[in-house]
Structure 1
Amino acid sequence: MDNENTVIQSIIEAARKLMQQYGFSKTTMEDIAKAAGKGKSTLYHHFKNKEEIIDEVLGQEMDSFFREVKQAVDQEKSLHAKLKTYIVVKIQSIRHRVNLYRFAMETDASTLEINTQFRRLRTRYDQQEANLILSVLTLGIAEGTLHHQSEADLAMLTELLVTCVRGVEMDIIMYNKHNTLPDKADLLVGVLVKGLS
């Protein structure tokens, strides 16, 4: 079983690297097999088609992305540090994965199925991210840094913060903007915390 998992992971890793470098439409099953050092029959033994491989690539990348952000946020103690870390680590992680995100967001007809999978994964990730930010804001209230908020206001603030950072994320993915955003995270968090306190 361990050997089978090793084979599957080598296929997924090879596909991830090829997708980041060449995109979805230019990567073939033959390319993936060659990059993984396997025969095409091995790929088809484990995956029905290229789309199934990409589902796995996207799922693992999104899970890794969230773990990376959450672990960094969890290590911080104060509200300000947690929010700054959330923004900075998220932006750094997106920059590292930008080509993968670009390919996942392609909109031509040949990638419609992948776009659907990416949206499903993105919805799951967005909920995890909202829960993380809600817990950070709740901590801020508990430590007295933020004024008490109603449950509805707290949910709205969470959504606004996630949406704000998502807008920056889209600018990075689509237009390679905000090269210095991590440097400005203190300012953004300061404005947010001051406004809420």
Structure 2
Amino acid sequence: MASIQDELLQEQILKAALQLYQQYGLKKVTMDDVAKLLGKTRTSLYYYYKNRDEIFEAVLDMVVNDFVNDIANAMDKTESINEKLKVFCLSKIKITEERKAIFTSLEKSVDPDTQSTHSKTMMAIHKRLMKLEATLLKKNILNAIEKGDIKELNPKNLDSFIFIILSGTRGIKREMSYDNNFTNLNYVVNTLVEMSMRWLN
């Protein structure tokens, strides 16, 4: 079991790597660069990560976990399932936009020789993000059912409802991103959630 000190050092390694990725792009960052930024030796990094590919994947995991945790924290500040769903959609879109530069920097300088591996990694991370988001929604919806705020849902309907919320949110974000115009974001999200809530009730 990792000690608190080990966990802190791993977090420092990943944050340092992310900082360097954003500055120089993935291709140009080496284990030596990360170690130098931390004031550590390269050998000390190998205790936690075998190579820079492992660091890259761990950085992506960190970004995804932070992303979902921020959405969860925002949802926890509301009471009704209606408000929680609205906060989920709005937070997902806003945080995605705020952190778009992170993902852009991670992708912009990928070597063509490693493009295939990189694409597979990004797809795996995308699926992980979707799974975590679905789990977060499911937890909040089941809590609302338990409190009697909404009707019981069988597993198929629950999964379908979650899919609709996730797909609808991604669609709203994608379409508004094309014109970089989020003026009507609150109205559109409210409409999506209100329509969904009518079915739940």
Please give the TM-score of this superposition, normalised by the length of structure 2. Answer: 0.76
Q: Tell me the equivalent position of 2:182.
A: 179
Structure 2 Cα separation of the partners of residues 52 and 79 of structure 1? 38
State the AA in 2 paired with 1:119.
M
Q: Tell me the equivalent position of 2:69.
A: 67
Q: Given that residues 171 and 178 in structure 1 are in contact (C-alpha distance below 8 angstroms), is that contact kept between their aligned partners in structure 2?
A: no
Q: Tell me the equivalent position of 2:103.
A: 101
| Partner secondary structure for residue 83 of structure 1 | helix
Aligned CA distance change for structure 1 residues 131 and 9 (closer, same or farther; 3 Å): closer
Matched, 1:153 2:160: no
Offset, 1:104: 5.0
Structure 2 Cα separation of the partners of residues 2 and 137 of structure 1? 34
Farther off after superposition, 34-43 or 143-152? 143-152
Structure 1 Cα separation of the partners of residues 158 and 113 of structure 2? 39
| Percentage of pairs with the same residue | 24
Offset, 1:195: 5.3
Q: Tell me the equivalent position of 1:19.
A: 21
| Partner secondary structure for residue 25 of structure 1 | helix
Matching of residues 1-197 of structure 1 within 5 Å: 1-104=3-106, 108-138=112-142, 149-169=153-173, 177-180=180-183, 182-184=185-187, 185-194=189-198, 196-197=200-201
Offset, 1:58: 1.1
State the AA in 1 paired with 2:169.
V
Farther off after superposition, 74-83 or 123-132? 123-132
Structure 1 residue ranges without an equivalent (≥5): none
State the AA in 2 paired with 1:156.
S
C-alpha RMSD of matched pairs (Å) = 3.2
Aligned CA distance change for structure 1 residues 44 and 170 (closer, same or farther; 3 Å): farther
Structure 2 residue ranges without an equivalent (≥5): none
Structure 1 Cα separation of the partners of residues 7 and 13 of structure 2? 10
Q: Given that residues 134 and 162 in structure 2 are in contact (C-alpha distance below 8 angstroms), is that contact kept between their aligned partners in structure 1?
A: yes
Offset, 1:77: 1.1
Q: Given that residues 134 and 158 in structure 1 are in contact (C-alpha distance below 8 angstroms), is that contact kept between their aligned partners in structure 2?
A: yes
The alignment of Structure 1 onto Structure 2 pairs a total of residues equal to 196
Structure 2 Cα separation of the partners of residues 178 and 105 of structure 1? 24
State the AA in 2 paired with 1:93.
I
Offset, 1:122: 3.0
| Partner secondary structure for residue 47 of structure 1 | coil
Deviation track 1:129-180 (CA, whole Å, cap 9, x = no partner) reads 21322344445556666565543223212112112223345568x8584534
Deviation track 1:98-147 (CA, whole Å, cap 9, x = no partner) reads 12323556674424334333333332332232132234444555666656
Structure 1 Cα separation of the partners of residues 37 and 49 of structure 2? 16
Farther off after superposition, 76-85 or 114-123? 114-123
State the AA in 1 paired with 2:37.
A
Q: Given that residues 104 and 118 in structure 1 are in contact (C-alpha distance below 8 angstroms), is that contact kept between their aligned partners in structure 2?
A: no
Structure 2 Cα separation of the partners of residues 132 and 84 of structure 1? 14
Aligned CA distance change for structure 1 residues 46 and 153 (closer, same or farther; 3 Å): closer
